[in-house]
Structure 1
Amino acid sequence: MTATQAATTSITTPANFRNEGNGLPRALPAWTYRNAELIELEYERLILPSWQFVCHINQVKNPGDFATLDLMRDSIIVMRGKDKALRAFMNVCRHRGAKLLDGSGTCKHRLVCPYHAWSYNFDGSLAAVPAEHTFPGLDKQEFGLRPVELEVVLGLVFIRVIPGGPSLKEMWGDYVDLVADYRLEDMVPVDEPWTDIWQCNWKVGVDNNLENYHIPLGHPGYHRMLDNDLQGFINVHGVAGSKSVLKDKPSPNWVERFYQQMAPEVLRDLPEEIRRTWYFFTLPPNIGIDIYPDSMDVFQILPRGAETCVVRYPVYRRPKENREQRVLRYLNGRINRQVGAEDRELCERVQLGIGSRGYEAGPLSSYEVALKDFHDRVRAVCPVTTLPKAPGAGSLRQRNAELSAAVKRSGN
C-alpha cells in the first residue's frame, strides 16, 4: 500500500454524506455566527481542549529560546530548557498575573516578570522573589509556572491548554508519511507570524478554509495554475486534506506561469511528483497547514469577538535557499497573498449576508464534507447550536447544559 492509499483509508465519501431521512445536511444556523455568548462557550469547549500551533521546532532550538501564542483570554509560552527539553507554560506570573513574555526570542538567564521581578527558571520553577521576607511562609515550589500539554509533529510545535483526547500523532496518522518527502522538520521561519483582524466570526473563516468548492470562482489564480481536488479527504479525527498539482498548461498570469515552469526545475533534490504538488491540510477546529515544495505556512483562525477573528499566518522556508529557490518562494508569496485577500473578502461578504433576514442555513455539497464534519463537532460540544434560534439573552449556557444532559440521557 502506498502512503497516499494508506492516508486515505478512512476518508468520508459522498456515499455516507447524506443524512438518513433528512435530505442534504445543513450548515449551522445563522445566529451561531453572530452571538457573543456562544463565542465564550466555543472558546472553552472547542479552542482550549484542541491542539493549537505555536511555532516551528527550529525557532526554539537552544536553552532560553521561547515563542508565545496569544489566544482569546490566555497566553502560552513554549521554551527550551537548559536540559534541552521543550516545555509549555501559561504565560502569566504567579504573583499578580502579569503577562511575562511577548512574541519570540531568547531569555539569557531567567524569565523575569516585568511587574515585580519574580523570576522563573527555564523549566518553569520559581527561582527568586524580590523582598522574599515580606512573604512569610512562602513555598516557592508551589508557585512555578503552570504547565501546558505540548506535542511536536512534522517539526511543528502545538500546545493544548485543556489536556485529554487523542494525541497529534494519532490524529495525523498516515498523513505524516504522505508529506515526509517535503522535509518540513528542516524548515525555518521567514519572519515573525503575520496577523490580521477579519470582520467575520471565526467559524466563517474556518468554513471557508475547509472546502475547495469555492476555488474555481473565488480563487482564479489557483484555478489557472493547479488541478485542484475539490472533494478532498478526511480521517476519523477530522484531519482533512486535498492535493493540488501544477497544470501542464501555462497560466496566462506571468507570476503563476513562472512558478509552474520553475518549480520542477529548481527543486531537483525533491522527488519529481513533490516538485509539482501542493497539499492543503486542516486540523480541527481552526488550523490550516499548507505545504508547498518551496515552503509551508500555517493558517490559524482564532475567535476574537462575535463577528471578528484573528488570523495568524507564519511562513516557513527550506533551509539554505539558493537564488532560484528564493525567487520561487517570492512567486509563491505573491500568489498566496492574493489568495489570502480573496479569502478575506469572501469571508467578510458571508458575514454580512449571514446577518440578513433573507438567509437561513443552506444545504451542503459533498464537496463540503470537511465543513460538515466541523459543524458536527461544534454541535457535539455545544448542542445549543442545534437550535434554529438563539436562546434568550443570558440563558445560553443554561440552555446548553440542559441540551447536553438530554443528549447524555438519550445515550447519543
Structure 2
Amino acid sequence: MMTEIKSGTPIAKQSQRHGGLPVSLPAWAYTSDELADLEYEHVILPSWQFVCHVSQVKNPGDYMTLDMKKDSVLVMRGKDDVLRAFMNVCRHRAAKLLTGAGNCRARITCPYHGWSYDLSGELKGLPAEKTFPGVEKDKLGLKEIEIEILAGMVFARVVPGGPTLRESFGAMADVIAEYRLEEMVPGGEPWIDTWDCNWKIAVDNNLENYHITVGHPGLNRMFDSDLTGVLNEHGVAYSKSVLKGIPSPNRAERMYQHLAKNAFTQLPEAARRTWTFFSLVPNIGLDIYPDSFDIFQILPQSGTTCVMRYPIFVRPDANREEKAMQYLNARINRQVGLEDRELCERVQAGMGSHGYEPGPLSNYEHAVVDFHNRIRAACPVVNDAKAPVSGTMRQRNDALRGDARSAA
C-alpha cells in the first residue's frame, strides 16, 4: 500500500487575476537576462540543489561537482567518512579547483598556484608561504555550505536558511522511502543539454500534468494520470500515474506494461505499477519508477536559455526482465523529453508575440500558481506589467523588496 498525501497550503494568494482566475507571470519575465540574474541570486542559491547520489561518493576522497550559472559546488567524502559540501573555488585567486567527478587521495590542489586543502577543506599548504607574512591558514579553508541527504540523494544549499530537505518533503518523504532509492546506482553519464527557453518555462511545464493528454501521447496510452496532484506548504508537489490494464498499441510501451506485472517484487504491489512525480521548488523534478529514478534539474542560464541536467539511477541487482524494463523506460522517457523540449521552446517563441497577455490558469496548474507566487515574493519586480528600463531592474527590485519588508 502506498502512502496517501494530502494537499497543503500555497505560499500566498496570487496577485494577478483574470476573471477571478490566477494568471501567469508577464511575458517579459521569460525573456530578461537581468531578471535571470536576480532569480539566480534570490531563488536558486537559497534553495536545495541536487549534486549526486551517495553511491557516487562512497569512499574517502570521492567527489562530485555541480556547476551552476555563476557558481560551482563540490561534494566530497573525507577521510573521517563525513560527506561535506564546499564552494568549488580556491581561497587565493578564485580558480576552480575540481571538475566533474573523481577521487582525491590526500589533498585538493589548486591547478593555478598549488594551494592545497585536505579532504575536510582545511588549507594545508601554499607554495612560497614565507611570501605571505602573517597568513592565517586556519581562516582560509574552503567555504563550507549546507548539505543534506534524502533517500540516498545528496543536495547542497549555497545560501543557508529555510526548511531542511526532509521538512520540505514532509509526508511525501514516506512515499519516496517505499522505493528504496538509496540502493540504486548511476545508469550512465548524466544527460546535460541547453534548451532555448527561459528556465521558468521549463519549470512551469514540469509542475503541471494538464498537458499530458495532448503533449505526451505515449504516457497517455500507458497510464491513468492524476492531472491535479497535491502540493504542500513548502511548494513540493506530488502526482502519480498508474499503468493501465489496457495494453498500449505501441510495442515498447506494451512490453513495459507486460513486464511490470511480475517485476521488482521487493516493492509494495502498488509501487510496482506506479510512476510517481515530485517537484522540489524552485527547479527540480524527481521522477520515481519501479525500475529506476531520475532527477530533472533546470538551471537558469540567460533570459531565454536554460541548462538541463538529467541523471538516471537504476537498481543494480535487476534480473533480465527488470533490466529490460530499465531499457524500455529510458526509451519511453527519451521521447517524453523531446516532447517537453519542443513544447517549452514553442512557448518561448510565443512570449515575444505582439500583444500577448498571460491567460488564466487552470486548477490543474495550482503548483504553477504557487511557483509564480514564490518568484513574485523573491523578485517583486515581476509584478510590473512592463520591464524596467535596461540597467535599472536590480535597483527597482531592491526597492520593492525593501518596501515588502517594511510592510511586514
TM superposition score normalised by structure 2: 0.96
Quote the Cα distance in structure 1 between the aligned partners of 2:72 and 2:189. Answer: 17
The amino acid of 2:230's aligned partner reads: F
Match of 1:257 among 244, 254, 258: 254
Matches within 5 A, 1:11-410: 23-410=20-407
Answer whether contact 1:3 1:174 (CA < 8 A) is retained: no
Answer whether contact 1:200 1:307 (CA < 8 A) is retained: yes
Quote the Cα distance in structure 2 between the aligned partners of 1:11 and 1:410. Answer: 22
Answer whether contact 1:211 1:368 (CA < 8 A) is retained: yes
Distance 1:17 1:89, change over 3 A: closer
Answer whether contact 2:2 2:270 (CA < 8 A) is retained: no
Distance 1:350 1:265, change over 3 A: same
Answer whether contact 1:17 1:369 (CA < 8 A) is retained: no
The amino acid of 1:160's aligned partner reads: R
The amino acid of 1:4's aligned partner reads: T
- Of the structure 1 ranges 189-198 and 252-261, higher mean CA displacement relative to structure 2 is found in 189-198
Unaligned 5+ residue runs, structure 2?
Answer: none
Cα distance, 1:191 vs structure 2: 1.9
Unaligned 5+ residue runs, structure 1?
Answer: none
Secondary structure at the residue paired with 2:301? strand
Secondary structure at the residue paired with 2:233? coil
Answer whether contact 2:184 2:313 (CA < 8 A) is retained: yes
Quote the Cα distance in structure 2 between the aligned partners of 1:136 and 1:364. Answer: 63
Answer whether contact 2:196 2:304 (CA < 8 A) is retained: yes
The amino acid of 2:205's aligned partner reads: N
Quote the Cα distance in structure 2 between the aligned partners of 1:98 and 1:46. Answer: 25
Quote the Cα distance in structure 2 between the aligned partners of 1:253 and 1:349. Answer: 26
Which string of whole-angstrom CA distances, capped at 9 and with x for unpartnered residues, describes residues 184-226 of structure 1? Answer: 1111111222100000000000000000000001000000001
Answer whether contact 2:18 2:360 (CA < 8 A) is retained: no
Distance 1:360 1:9, change over 3 A: closer
CA-based RMSD: 1.7
Quote the Cα distance in structure 2 between the aligned partners of 1:42 and 1:267. Answer: 41
Cα distance, 1:40 vs structure 2: 0.8
The amino acid of 1:195's aligned partner reads: I
Secondary structure at the residue paired with 1:159? strand
Match of 2:6 in 1: 8
Answer whether contact 1:197 1:309 (CA < 8 A) is retained: yes
Which string of whole-angstrom CA distances, capped at 9 and with x for unpartnered residues, describes residues 111-166 of structure 1? Answer: 11111111110000011112222222222111110111111111111111000011
Cα distance, 1:168 vs structure 2: 0.6
The amino acid of 2:212's aligned partner reads: I
State how many pairs are aligned.
406
Answer whether contact 2:146 2:158 (CA < 8 A) is retained: yes
Quote the Cα distance in structure 2 between the aligned partners of 1:98 and 1:321. Answer: 42
Quote the Cα distance in structure 1 between the aligned partners of 2:128 and 2:70. Answer: 30
Cα distance, 1:401 vs structure 2: 2.0
Quote the Cα distance in structure 1 between the aligned partners of 2:341 and 2:18. Answer: 36
Cα distance, 1:3 vs structure 2: 6.2
Quote the Cα distance in structure 1 between the aligned partners of 2:180 and 2:377. Answer: 36
Secondary structure at the residue paired with 1:102? coil
Quote the Cα distance in structure 2 between the aligned partners of 1:335 and 1:21. Answer: 37
Quote the Cα distance in structure 1 between the aligned partners of 2:22 and 2:176. Answer: 32
Secondary structure at the residue paired with 2:65? strand
Cα distance, 1:21 vs structure 2: 9.7
The amino acid of 1:8's aligned partner reads: K
The amino acid of 2:8's aligned partner reads: S
The amino acid of 2:36's aligned partner reads: I
Secondary structure at the residue paired with 1:305? coil
Quote the Cα distance in structure 2 between the aligned partners of 1:302 and 1:17. Answer: 25
Distance 1:18 1:202, change over 3 A: closer
